[in-house]
Chain A
């Protein structure tokens, strides 16, 4: 039996942002993630957009947290050495009547505190977005929008939390939650049974994404459910990096922000996501319909988007629990904190959600005393694809393995693979998310063998034990050498 002040369930961006926030206080914090690695759930299929705070209803949690989250993300990304690019966003109108809606969006956003918004006309758009559909009469420009790598962001938050004492348990699925009262423990506490161990926690923070409703029910809370809403996204070749200079949005629909032209911090443009309600929380399949819809909608924005430029695609599930986030202390199950329905703009909001959660914990009696030695900063690993060659030359002199290129499409060196493994990658997807090896145009055809060997060597496993994303996803099924 282990005890802690706060047990966080879920190692996506919300859970890790909360872990990092709480790690500055003198608390025992444990984070449990059911998957093999962090960011393998909802967070892995994210667009990577740090929204400015537009397209939210004034008075909503999303509206308030998004503006705050935008500023916090920039600040924390600097502290954690995560690449954040403030590329700005254009919400475009296709007709004069849509221009009226844009103006309303602008006014709503200004009420929420979004800064720097302005309307731009067709001439401005031709100058600044030459590939944009020339018939678009006007757009709302939101300069504070930006992009970040959702994976590297989650991993940076988690590593920094770990440096500051948070314990992170992967492959740990919560099976049951009991409310108990214990003598000498200051009243009620929650006992959490997991596949790894049992924990007694004063507070349990439910950031379980698609499964937040199931976790809540374990504690007797059954007034919300999570409905997955599938989004399919298509990644284009890095050669098309400059297809657009900004994030391009159409006007939002009732269920989503529409199909976007997305810039990513890796350089590859992305188009999507679609939005389709589904029942199955495991359904990460892409569809022919999804491709058709996304291509057609993306071409309305940028007519030259070509099917031939698509090098990868994926589907993600948004955890929808009504129109707004649910973030609250559960008075019916004291100590339970629900953080549910964190769909878009959840990535942006995560650091603001973390602050809100820490306030909730304080209101409910947790003593938040700051650590004297909180390590606020960390240095990220180097990524050759994002630095100038002159710096690469210096790195190669310092460590020869920077000159040993493993992934040719994305220029990833052996040193970066080792760094990723040292930072916690245990699977091929974990390496891909951290380094981009296998994520380029050849899709791992050339580097898979080498990566498997490095991963096996450095984690002390056999090559046949290497998996794509955890148990049951082994890459190869047999070693012929074992026959002899």
Chain B
């Protein structure tokens, strides 16, 4: 068993900012666990701009924003980074077991910061009925396929939900030569940032339907069409408003869920409505010495806010360690 003062789970923007801020607050023995082969998390697939306006007072791409933190973390002797490291168990006395290629390790942390981010809600979670063909993607997966792998998921696209990733992907698909035939939002307004509605949808003349939902997916092997319907104030379907849209691809962008299954395994209290940790104080969990920051604590609109939140959390962990000494 390894002993560490501070272990941070997740090497995205939250984990990196928390590690740097804890170091600046005097923590000298930090282990940063990242399950992917790179630091940076989801920022690596965000090749669009809009990042860093508050933190760096500059307009950066997601990759650039991550890159700046990655170089700071890599230059820091106090922060040990372990990549391809997947935590499989966490107990309430802050003992973590993680797998990496070739070994399983156990580490006892005096303090622990969870920076595990979030996952996208799926088609299944909003119960869209119909068939289950190829061609249904979460917006984030489509973003990764295009931006990292250089693969185009489809050519005629309908986007369900108007979250920021969905809006950004509407523009991205259009720029890649695909046709985005509709963005369908069940609410009366977009869930995303206004700048994304304007720059990603209006500027490209993409039809945006508010107060509509997808009531059916059709297609045996690959998506062939969707059926859309208008909903009234109570959320009931409006008679006679059904129409079909032919498409080969559906992107689902209907919200994000904090990833807290690990601390839940350790016995932390979780809000069943939001999947976020329940605690008395900001950035803490119901387990002493286990902190949480970034999107696993609360889903933020901007990475700059994630960074700020994680910096606070890093200092809190440092104070906890100083108090425990």
Residues of A within 8 A of B (CB): 239, 282, 284-288, 290-291, 307-308, 310-314, 389, 392-393, 396-397, 400-405, 408, 411, 413, 441-446, 448-449, 463-464, 467-481
Indicate whether A403 sits within 8 Å of B264 (C-beta atoms), given known contacts A468-B134, A475-B134: no
Asked if residues A396 and B88 are in contact (CB atoms below 8 Å), the reply is no
* Interchain CB contact (< 8 A) of B138 among A285, A392, A443, A477: A443
Cβ of A433 to closest chain B Cβ, rounded Å: 13
Per the bound structure, the CA–CA distance linking A442 and B220 in Å amounts to: 22
Residues of chain A lying within 8 A (CB to CB) of residue B141 = 444-446, 448-449
User: Which residue of A310, A442, A445 has the most chain B CB atoms within 10 A of its CB atom?
Assistant: A445
CB neighbours of B129 from chain A (8 A): 285-288, 290-291
Given contacts A400-B102, A403-B101, contact A311 B125 (CB under 8 A): yes
Q: A401-B101, A403-B100, A477-B153 are in contact. Are A443 and B124 (CB under 8 A)?
A: yes
Taking a contact as CB atoms under 8 Å apart, the answer to whether B120 and A310 are in contact is: no
On chain A, the residues within 8 Å of B249 by CB distance are 477
Q: How far is the CA of A463 from the CA of B119 in the complex (A)?
A: 24
**Contact in complex: B155, A477 (CB < 8 Å):** yes
Q: Which of B99, B152, B220, B264 contacts A392 (CB 8 A)?
A: B99
Residues of A within 8 A of B103 (CB): 396-397, 400, 403
CB distance from A388 to the nearest CB of B (A): 11
Residue-wise, chain B 144-167 has the 8 Å CB interface mask toward A (1 for contact) of 111011111111000000000000
Task: Contact check, B125 vs A310: say whether CB atoms are below 8 A apart.
Answer: yes
Are the CB atoms of B102 and A405 closer together than 8 Å? Answer: no
Q: Judging by beta carbons under 8 Å apart, are B124 and A312 in contact?
A: yes
- A444 to chain B: which residues have CB within 8 Å? 141
- Contact (Cβ within 8 A) A477 B119: no
The reply to whether A310 and B127 contact each other, CB–CB distance below 8 Å, is: yes
Would B119 and A284 count as touching, CB distance under 8 A? no
Q: Is B198 an interface residue (CB 8 A)?
A: no
What B residues does A287 contact at CB under 8 A? 129
CB–CB A308/B272 < 8 A: yes
Residues of A close to B88: CB separation below 8 A: 389, 392, 405, 411
CB of A473 within 8 A of CB of B134, answer yes
B155 and A478 within 8 A (CB):
yes
**Between-chain CB contacts (< 8 Å), 29 pairs:** A239-B261, A286-B129, A286-B130, A288-B127, A291-B129, A313-B127, A389-B88, A392-B99, A396-B99, A397-B102, A400-B101, A404-B84, A405-B35, A405-B88, A408-B35, A442-B120, A444-B141, A445-B120, A445-B137, A445-B138, A446-B141, A449-B148, A472-B220, A473-B221, A475-B134, A477-B153, A477-B249, A480-B151, A481-B150
Cα distance A400–B99 when bound, in Å? 10
State which of A307, A403, A445, A463 has its C-beta within 8 Å of the C-beta of B149: A463
Chain B interface residue number, banded: 35 or more
Question: Closest residue to B146 on the A side, CB-wise?
Answer: A480
- Report the bound CA distance from A449 to B153 in whole Å: 11
**Could you say which residues of chain A place their CB within 8 Å of the CB of B216?**
285
Instruction: Give the complex CA separation of A481 and B151 in angstroms.
Output: 8
Report the nearest B residue to A413, measured CB to CB.
Answer: B99
Distance (whole angstroms) from the CB of A246 to the closest CB of chain B: 25
Would you call the interface of chain B mostly helix, strand, loop, or mixed?
Answer: mixed
Residues 73-107 of B at the A interface (beta carbon under 8 Å):
84, 86, 88-89, 97, 99-104
Binding site for A on B (CB under 8 A): 35, 84, 86, 88-89, 97, 99-104, 119-120, 122-125, 127, 129-134, 137-138, 140-141, 144-146, 148-155, 176, 215-218, 220-222, 248-249, 261, 264, 272
- Report the bound CA distance from A393 to B132 in whole Å: 37
Q: Which of B134, B220, B221 has its CB near the most chain A CB atoms (within 10 A)?
A: B134
Beyond A310-B127, A445-B141, A446-B119, whether A477 also contacts B248 by CB under 8 A is yes
Q: Is the CB of A474 within 8 A of B134?
A: yes
Query: What A residues does B35 contact at CB under 8 A?
Result: 405, 408
Complex CA gap A110/B227 in Å reads 51
Complex-state Cα separation, A478 to B176, whole angstroms: 11
Q: A residues within 8 A CB of B217?
A: 285
Candidates A310, A403, A464; contact of B151 at CB < 8 Å: A464
Residues of chain A with a CB closer than 8 A to B145's CB: 448-449, 476
Contact B151 A471 (CB under 8 A): no
B124 and A310 form a contact (CB under 8 A) = yes
| Most chain A CB atoms below 10 A, which of B120, B123, B261 | B261
Q: Within the complex, what minimum Cβ distance (angstroms) separates B88 from chain A?
A: 6
Cα separation A312 to B132 with both chains bound (whole Å): 10
Q: Known contacts A284-B132, A445-B138, A479-B150: does B222 contact A311 (CB below 8 Å)?
A: no
B124 CB, min distance to chain A CBs, angstroms: 5
B130 neighbours in A (Cβ, 8 Å): 285-286
Distance A408 CA – B10 CA, assembled complex (angstroms): 13
The complex places the Cα of A476 from the Cα of B136 at a distance, in Å, of 10
B218 / chain A contacts, CB cutoff of 8 Å:
285
Contact B151 A478 (CB under 8 A): yes
**Cβ–Cβ < 8 Å partners of A286 in chain B:** 129-130, 132
Distance, CA A239 to CA B154, complexed state (A): 34
Contact with A480, one of B86, B152, B261 (Cβ below 8 angstroms): B152
Contacting residues, chain A, for B102 (C-beta < 8 A): 396-397, 400, 403
Looking across the interface, which residue of chain A has its beta carbon closest to that of B218? A285
Q: Which 10 A-B pairs have the closest CB atoms?
A: A400-B102, A468-B134, A473-B221, A472-B221, A478-B152, A405-B86, A473-B134, A445-B138, A393-B104, A476-B151
CB neighbours of A449 from chain B (8 A): 141, 144-145, 148-149
Q: Chain B CB within 10 Å — which of A443, A469, A472, A480 has the most? A: A443
Which B residues are CB-close (under 8 A) to A448? Answer: 141, 145
Distance between Cα atoms of A449 and B131 in the complex (Å):
22
Query: Cβ of B131: which chain A residues have Cβ within 8 Å of it?
Result: 284-285
